[in-house]
Each structure stands twice: as structure tokens, then as C-alpha cells.
Structure 1
Amino acid sequence: MDMDRSDLVDLTTDPTSFLSVADPRLRRMAVSALGPEDARTHAPTLFALAADDDVPVRAAVAEALGLLGQDALDSLGRLADDDDETVREAVATAFGEVGDASAIPWLATAAATDESRHVMEAAVAAMGAIGDDAAVDALLDIVATGPPQVRRRAIAAITVFDDPRVEPAIRKAALDRNPGVREAAEMVVGRQIVPAGD
């Protein structure tokens, strides 16, 4: 199905009028084009679209829900179990934008066990963005044992915490055998760490 050029022009002018159209591509673009004020005004529509059959629409809705703050937590919680990784990744990012510590248990589980590295990385970043001490244990565990790409992200995320275990964990990561993990840790500590005896 081809999109009408006039629809695209109209969508940029008033995305809210396209939130309920039949074409899922237009719905997704409409959701993505919402600003914070429109998202708040049309929150009930966004909550309903969280159950849309179209994966890209659900992912766009999850991103937009991040604009709604704590009012979006229930809908984000339902989307958190989505079968599609792009939706779960968007949920993790939105949880970080909302900034509510009640999301930490889901984020910690997603960061440690999700089958998608992208979801894991987004969950780690969200825990850092939330900045609640409840995330420290999960982030320390990921810095020590997670996949390299996720460990790099966890090193950056954990720097926001004032916990005595953070610096030793980062210093240990600076000696890691993975060069990406080492580089991330070295950037945090500000210099390359040379093991004693070298």
C-alpha cells in the first residue's frame, strides 16, 4: 500500500489525526512525531495503541510513553513482556526516561538475561539514568560477568553511583582481557592501569 504524499504532509502538521488510521506505517509515524504535550493530551490513545498488532507501532508507543512519566508505568509494564526485542528495547529506554525506581527489578533482569544484546544495553543505560541505588548490585554483576558490549555500557552507567564498590570494579575492568571493556574502564579512571609487577 502506497502512502499518499498529502498524508505525509498532513502528518507533519497534525500527527494526532493519524493515531487511529488503518495504515500501521502512518500510525507509527504519527506516534513518533508526538511531542510531550501531544503525548500527554493523547495518553489514552497511546495506552490503547500499546496493544497494537503492529510491532513498529508498539515500539514507537513504548518510546512515546517515556514522555508521560509515571502515568505510563502500567502500560510500559505490559509492553515489557513483548515478544519483540525492539519493543522491549524501547520499553527499557522509556523506563530510563521516566526515572522511576520501581522499574529497576525488570531492568536488572532484562540486563542480565534478555536474549537481545540491544535490550540488555538499553536496560543497563536505563538503570544508570534512573540512578537509584537499587541498581548498583545488578550493574556491578554485569560489569564483572556480562557480555563485553553490555559490560562497557555498565561501566558508564555505574559511574553515577556513590558506592565504595564502584571504583574497585572499574579498576578491575581496566585490566580486563577484552579491549573494549578495558578502554571503557580506562576512560572512566582517566589513565591506563598497569598491573602490579609489570
Structure 2
Amino acid sequence: MAKEDLSIARAARFAELGHEGNLDDKTRSELEGAAVGDLDARARSSALGALVRSFDVTEHDVAELTATWLLAVRDVDAAVRRRAGELGPKIVGVATVKSVVIAALIDLLGDEEITVIETAAWALGECDLTSDQCALAVSSLAQITIEHDQALAREAAAAALGALGDPNGLPAILVACTDKPAVRRRAVLALAPFSGPEVEAAIEAATQDRDPQVRRAAEILLQATKE
């Protein structure tokens, strides 16, 4: 069997293991090793996903899973880092030291790969954060929303700020409401948790936007306020 086929086969096998429920120690150890040591990025991603799907909530397993995930967020391959970001909210939900996981997700916002940044922003928006953790996340997300040179990153960060609903993120969302069309659309929707004259003015302006999707986003918000 060719090397490529072997890699695909390993990834498929790891994925199947993740659907088998509680794993024995030998299989879990194999997945932990593969998640950080397999030579193929697809296999590493698959093994990491299998671990998260099948882990047993014990103090030992949580510690091992968190340690493996923390290695994955620093993987040399962007696909593995992106997969780790996708799994971030689940890790936050079970981790004993959640602040370490949140810090790792915030670090991913500085990744060189745009899709990793997009995923990390989404993950932070899905996490249940303490006030201190939220302040750190909002600060980083707001900076990306205003300053990042890639529209996809600004769009994802604006959406995450809306998901978090922290008032400190509102100024950045308002700036994003004047960005490119795709960013404006997500930014307008991100205004949903907020209220006040500035928010009302931004939504009203969006109803007159030259882009139909931005206008539609504003209409959705206005309709929601009437219900």
C-alpha cells in the first residue's frame, strides 16, 4: 500500500475509534501518541478528534487530554492547529485549569494561517468565560477586528465579539460596520446583544447599505426587536 494510502487509512481508523465510546488504556495511549507524533497531519487531527469524542471524565484523562491538546495547538501543520481550535470549546468545558486553554486559544489569534485565526475566534465566542478571561479575549478580538489586514479575520473576530456580548467589544464592532461588505454583514449581526443610540444608528445605516446582504442583516435585527 502506498504511503499516502497508509496515512489515509490511519486517519480513518482513528476516526472510527472515536465513535466506539470509552477506550481501553492501550488504545487511548495510541491515540495520544498519534495526535502529537504521527507523521501525517490528517492522522494527527483525526486522533485528536477521537480523543475528545471518547474521553472518560476522570482527573487523569482530563489532564492527559488537555496536555495533548496544548501540544496540538502548537503543531507545525495549520490543519492540526485549526482542528485543535475547533475542539477548543470542548476542552474548555472539561479542563481543570481553563485559563491555560483560553490563553492558548487567544494565542491562536496570532497564527500565520488565516483559517486558524478564524477558527480560534469562533471558539472563543463559544466558550463560557470568566470576566477576566473575557476581557483578555475581547481585547485581542477587538484588535483583530480593527487592525487585521485580512477581511476574513476581521469578520470572524467581529462575530466572536457579538457572541461574547461584552460591552467593551462594541466599539470594534461599530468600526467593522463600516468595513467591506462581508465584514459589515457579520458586524451588523454582532450588534444583536447590544443596545443604545450608537447601535440603533448603526443598524439604521445598515438598512440603507448598498450591499443587499448587509441590508438583510439589518432587517433581521430590526425584526427580532419587534418580536
The verdict on a shared fold, with TM-score over 0.5 as the criterion, is: yes
Decide whether the 8 Å contact of 2:19 with 2:53 is kept in 1.
Answer: no
Per-residue CA deviations over 1:48-97 (Å, capped at 9, x if unaligned) read: 12111111101111121222334312211322211111111111111111
Per-residue CA deviations over 1:127-158 (Å, capped at 9, x if unaligned) read: 01111000111111111x21111111111111
Q: Which moved more, 1:3-12 or 1:146-155?
A: 3-12
Decide whether the 8 Å contact of 1:131 with 1:160 is kept in 2.
Answer: yes
> Which residue number corresponds to residue 30 of structure 1?
47
Decide whether the 8 Å contact of 1:36 with 1:67 is kept in 2.
Answer: no
What is the CA–CA distance in structure 1 between the aligned matches of 2:82 and 2:14, rounded to whole Å? 22
User: Residue 141 of structure 1 aligns to which amino acid in structure 2?
Assistant: V
> Which residue number corresponds to residue 77 of structure 2?
54
Decide whether the 8 Å contact of 1:139 with 1:158 is kept in 2.
Answer: yes
> Which residue number corresponds to residue 168 of structure 2?
134
Instruction: Tell me if 1:92 matches 2:126.
Output: no
Change beyond 3 A, Cα 1:182–1:44? same
Decide whether the 8 Å contact of 2:14 with 2:47 is kept in 1.
Answer: no
What is the CA–CA distance in structure 2 between the aligned matches of 1:7 and 1:141, rounded to whole Å? 44
How far the C-alpha of 1:159 sits from its partner, in A, is 1.4
> Which residue number corresponds to residue 196 of structure 1?
none
Decide whether the 8 Å contact of 1:101 with 1:130 is kept in 2.
Answer: no
Per-residue CA deviations over 1:87-115 (Å, capped at 9, x if unaligned) read: 11111111111242321121112222333
User: Residue 190 of structure 1 aligns to which amino acid in structure 2?
Assistant: Q
What is the CA–CA distance in structure 2 between the aligned matches of 1:57 and 1:38, rounded to whole Å? 22
Q: How does 1:1-198 map to 2 (within 5 A)?
A: 1-2=4-5, 3-4=8-9, 6-13=13-20, 16=28, 17-21=30-34, 22=38, 23-33=40-50, 34-35=52-53, 41=62, 42-69=65-92, 70-71=98-99, 72-98=101-127, 99=129, 100-143=134-177, 145-190=178-223
What is the CA–CA distance in structure 2 between the aligned matches of 1:180 and 1:67, rounded to whole Å? 32
Change beyond 3 A, Cα 1:7–1:180? closer
Decide whether the 8 Å contact of 1:66 with 1:93 is kept in 2.
Answer: no
What is the CA–CA distance in structure 1 between the aligned matches of 2:149 and 2:15, rounded to whole Å? 36
Alignment root-mean-square deviation, CA? 2.5
- SS of alignment partner, residue 172 of structure 2: helix
Change beyond 3 A, Cα 1:8–1:134? closer
Aligned length: 190
Q: Which moved more, 1:124-133 or 1:25-34?
A: 25-34
What is the CA–CA distance in structure 1 between the aligned matches of 2:160 and 2:85, rounded to whole Å? 14
User: Residue 155 of structure 2 aligns to which amino acid in structure 1?
Assistant: E
What is the CA–CA distance in structure 1 between the aligned matches of 2:206 and 2:126, rounded to whole Å? 27
How far the C-alpha of 1:31 sits from its partner, in A, is 2.5
- Note the residue ranges of structure 2 that are not aligned, 5 or more in a row: 93-97
TM-score (norm 1): 0.84
- Note the residue ranges of structure 1 that are not aligned, 5 or more in a row: 192-198
